[in-house]
Structure 1
């Protein structure tokens, strides 16, 4: 069976493609490189590595979903069975400053995709949604029945709007099967250290920021908010290993074959972990000290959120297997093997970064042995 994957070169996309190849699917992948690194000959760097890891090949097109004629060409050329739709802009802060850009990019692009799918008789999709659609939790853990739509930022509103659109389409047109997966907070990297998170745009995720401190590229981590009603005052999230998310997508594809029409699943671990607990797990696994300072909370941030993921366990036969420590360990392996992300293959870039890392890590290891 053939799966068409949008946003395939990104963090979650590239890990999912690796799992799809391992599961025997043929993959047609697109990305517009808005937040992913192009590699040799216009292929995506992350997907080249996915091919190396699995020994299978990917058909890749650089394509933007807003360019409908390009999309139509690809669908006319291949027989596609399923679509997994990751492509979207996803920075919460930026979405508040550039609402029109986010609405167009996340919603219009999805409408283009649906229209082209329909023209070519492709009606099965897994969608990359998010726990942001729940807004501020009314209870914890959050299950799929928790009210949605009371969303505090533009990024979240685009995800909510797209979910609503899918639900309406599946109700009105019987041939559609769409499964939105509401993820919690993805961390980690492929255990091989060959694929990981390498955003082109400024880091807003916590883990890459912790990584920069560990490598000495930043002097300390800024923790936003120390007065939340949680165990240690810092906000709590349901961190999930990106490889668990990847297997969740493969499980959702199998579910599509049962014609579920419209069905939503949470993908998380079902446990909350605070920012300070994450820092301490990272320090324990890597031996690197992470200095931090606590600043005021960020407007609109949610104190604590974690999911009830028992529905996915029952109906998709899926469960998150990795611990916080494994997420830290895999992320650190990726970071130290690829100090300049996917550009680490370029000798000039990598020599400079490698020197920074070596001096910093040997320095902090020396400090540690001095401490004992």
Structure 2
């Protein structure tokens, strides 16, 4: 089995990608510093795939530790890089944390990969690089707008670093710009597990539904959208994880058409916050208490993907619906609170 390093592999998307790598015949090696995840996720992965993957607790901000890791694991066929801080609001409040955690760690990994005869690298990018795009749905050709948050800026800078490095090294890379990952594994063994108050909509909804939060805050109802609330493209995390596996197979099999390829990952459908609340109430059969509050700094009006390129060139398509995503997230929430 070819070995694939998954950084941030005990996080939300990373853990689901480890499972899908196993399903596709790869051996995943996980790095995580447990700053925004739990070691218990490793047990959940084991219950799904039948064994405990190779895991190393490591802080990628420590350059010497990164060098030591790659010295021990010279047979890694590719790297899927998730490890990063990812909350827009927190990045506005603490930009230096984001620049250190999201940029330095990327540089240290690429410094090790550039020494290999060939290296395959998948970057966890984001639709935030488009800022408030001028046209919907967003294609990969949409201009990269000035970032509206330090988090978004780290994704833009990360893409620029990777593009520059691939020009002068044997690294081949795919940049996956995804929209809003939601849901949980159908087994309910792994799912989104925010530490503290959730920064993302869906875990806040499910925590409110279960009674952990008093009510959901809807940030703004004065956006220029049909119901006044912000619109996003919510993609099931299992669909998203499968796309990373397809992308890695593409690089390993040398099917990539250029040193760096970029793909949007989403459903192609935008849903407003109020539409998501309505869909959750339908799948959970619960009335969700919420209140309208002011907009958050750094939030945009609307973002949903044109996924034609990923569908046609990558050969991947999202298959799970918003209601299926919410039902799996609700099943996960109920399990972890039981």
- Tell me which residue corresponds to 1:242: 237
- Does structure 1 retain, via aligned residues, the 8 Å contact 2:139–2:264? yes
State the TM-score, normalized to the length of structure 1. Answer: 0.87
- Tell me which residue corresponds to 1:292: 290
Stretches of structure 1 lacking an aligned partner (at least 5 in a row): 39-44, 340-353, 355-372
Matched residues in 2 for 1:119 and 1:202: separation?
41
What CA deviation, in whole Å up to 9, does each residue of 1:139-189 have, x standing for no partner?
Answer: 00000000014211000000100101111112233x221101001001100
**1:5 maps onto 2:43 in alignment:** no
Matched residues in 2 for 1:166 and 1:314: separation?
24
SS of residue in 2 equivalent to 1:83: strand
- Tell me which residue corresponds to 1:70: 65
Question: After superposition, where does 1:113-152 map in structure 2 within 5 Å?
Answer: 113-152=109-148
**1:167 maps onto 2:163 in alignment:** yes
Higher helix share: 1
SS of residue in 2 equivalent to 1:17: helix
- Tell me which residue corresponds to 2:42: 47
Deviation at 1:291, TM superposition (A): 1.4
Deviates more, 1:266-275 or 1:56-65: 56-65
**1:100 maps onto 2:101 in alignment:** no
Matched residues in 2 for 1:56 and 1:163: separation?
34
- Does structure 1 retain, via aligned residues, the 8 Å contact 2:133–2:145? no
- Tell me which residue corresponds to 2:263: 265
Matched residues in 1 for 2:63 and 2:113: separation?
11
- Tell me which residue corresponds to 1:307: 305
SS of residue in 1 equivalent to 2:123: strand
Matched residues in 1 for 2:225 and 2:145: separation?
25
What CA deviation, in whole Å up to 9, does each residue of 1:218-240 have, x standing for no partner?
Answer: 22211011111112111110000
Matched residues in 2 for 1:26 and 1:118: separation?
22
State the TM-score, normalized to the length of structure 2. Answer: 0.96
- Tell me which residue corresponds to 2:78: 82
Residues paired across the two proteins, number: 333
**1:112 maps onto 2:108 in alignment:** yes
Deviation at 1:326, TM superposition (A): 0.2
**1:91 maps onto 2:99 in alignment:** no
Matched residues in 1 for 2:98 and 2:117: separation?
28
SS of residue in 2 equivalent to 1:106: helix
Larger Rg: 1
- Does structure 1 retain, via aligned residues, the 8 Å contact 2:88–2:298? no
Stretches of structure 2 lacking an aligned partner (at least 5 in a row): none
- Does structure 1 retain, via aligned residues, the 8 Å contact 2:7–2:81? yes
Matched residues in 1 for 2:233 and 2:5: separation?
28
Higher strand share: 2
Deviation at 1:54, TM superposition (A): 1.1
SS of residue in 1 equivalent to 2:114: helix
Matched residues in 1 for 2:72 and 2:297: separation?
47
Among residues 246, 259, 276, which one is paired with 1:278 in the alignment?
A: 276
- Tell me which residue corresponds to 2:21: 20
